[in-house]
């Protein structure tokens, strides 16, 4: 495999979806599906870390007129997404561009009406996550929406079974895919520091997974 940054999911691409379904059933898909109504009716959408393309198919099925940039760092994941797209037979109104790489491939002039991060942000330690989220923030138009789905236990501290699952995931993907994080990020703090507020939230898998929509908060009107 070429030595590309963050490409460790290349090694698990052939069984990642199967493993996720084995452990979580359809909860991870349900979480992502719940975000679809929050897509704009038309516009540019960035899907980053979409994996093998299940979510891309769902976007095509919405009937929306979307210009989608689909970025993934793992060659085998992106290849699967491309194949899935090529096999998609139903009519749709989207234009899709695939790009192998990370958020660092985004150009300053590339702006999106929605950014989707499906089970991506949990992979990074705090400083890297801060940089990644700042990059995505810069790529979002002022009224854009950030569609988020990830492991984020509602109950704090999380129940033991959730702690065990989270520990197991970091141990496995840390070893096999080179994931650097060792614990879930403080997502709320990261979004808050970028000035986002929550517009929608729903939990899945007994509160261990959350789907959320964030928008930039309106700055308070200054009183004279």
Ligand X SMILES: C[S@@+](CC[C@H](N)C(=O)[O-])C[C@H]1O[C@@H](n2cnc3c(N)ncnc32)[C@H](O)[C@@H]1O
Query: Cα torsion for 19, 21, 22, 23, to the nearest 10°?
Result: 90
Determine, following the binding rule CB under 6 A, whether residue 74 of this chain makes contact with ligand X. yes
Distance between the two ends of the chain, CA-based, in angstroms? 61
Within 117-146, which residues bind ligand X (CB under 6 A)?
118-120, 123
Q: Please give the structure tokens belonging to residue 1.
A: 């495999």
Between residues 60 and 71, which has the closer beta carbon with respect to ligand X?
71
Residue with the closest Cβ to ligand X?
A: 51
Between residues 35 and 73, which has the closer beta carbon with respect to ligand X?
73
- Collapsed DSSP state (helix, strand, coil) of residue 134: helix
Burial class (CB in 10 A: 0-12, 13-18, 19+), 175: exposed
Closest CA to 114 of 12, 212, 45: 45
Q: For ligand X, which residue of 28, 35, 133, 181 counts as binding (CB under 6 A)?
A: 28
Between residues 36 and 218, which has the closer beta carbon with respect to ligand X?
36
Between residues 182 and 197, which has the closer beta carbon with respect to ligand X?
182
Between residues 48 and 194, which has the closer beta carbon with respect to ligand X?
48
CB 7 within 8 A of CB 75: yes
Tell me, residue by residue from 38 to 67, as one string, x for binding to ligand X by CB under 6 A and - for no binding. ----------xxxx----------------
| Interatomic CA distance for residues 29 and 15, integer angstroms | 16
Binding interface with ligand X (CB under 6 A):
6, 9, 20, 28, 48-51, 71-74, 77, 102-103, 118-120, 123
């Amino acid at each position: 495999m070429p030595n590309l940054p963050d490409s460790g999911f290349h090694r698990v691409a052939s069984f990642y979806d199967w493993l996720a379904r084995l452990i979580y059933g359809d909860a991870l898909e349900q979480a992502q599906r719940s975000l679809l109504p929050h897509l704009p009716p038309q516009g540019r959408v960035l899907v980053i870390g979409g994996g093998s393309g299940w979510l891309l198919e769902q976007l095509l099925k919405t009937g929306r007129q979307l210009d989608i940039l689909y970025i993934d760092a793992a060659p085998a994941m992106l290849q699967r997404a491309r194949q899935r797209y090529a096999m998609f037979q139903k009519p749709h109104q989207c234009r899709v561009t695939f790009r192998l790489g990370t958020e660092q491939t985004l150009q300053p002039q590339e702006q999106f009406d929605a950014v989707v991060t499906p089970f991506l942000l949990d992979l990074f330690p705090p400083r890297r996550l801060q940089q990644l989220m700042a990059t995505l923030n810069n790529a979002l138009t002022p009224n854009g929406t950030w569609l988020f789905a990830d492991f984020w236990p509602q109950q704090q501290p999380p129940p033991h079974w959730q702690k065990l699952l989270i520990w197991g995931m970091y141990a496995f993907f840390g070893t096999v895919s080179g994931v650097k994080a060792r614990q879930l990020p403080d997502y709320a703090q990261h979004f808050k520091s970028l000035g986002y507020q929550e517009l929608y939230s729903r939990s899945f898998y007994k509160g261990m997974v959350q789907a959320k929509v964030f928008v930039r908060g309106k700055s308070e009107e200054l009183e004279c």
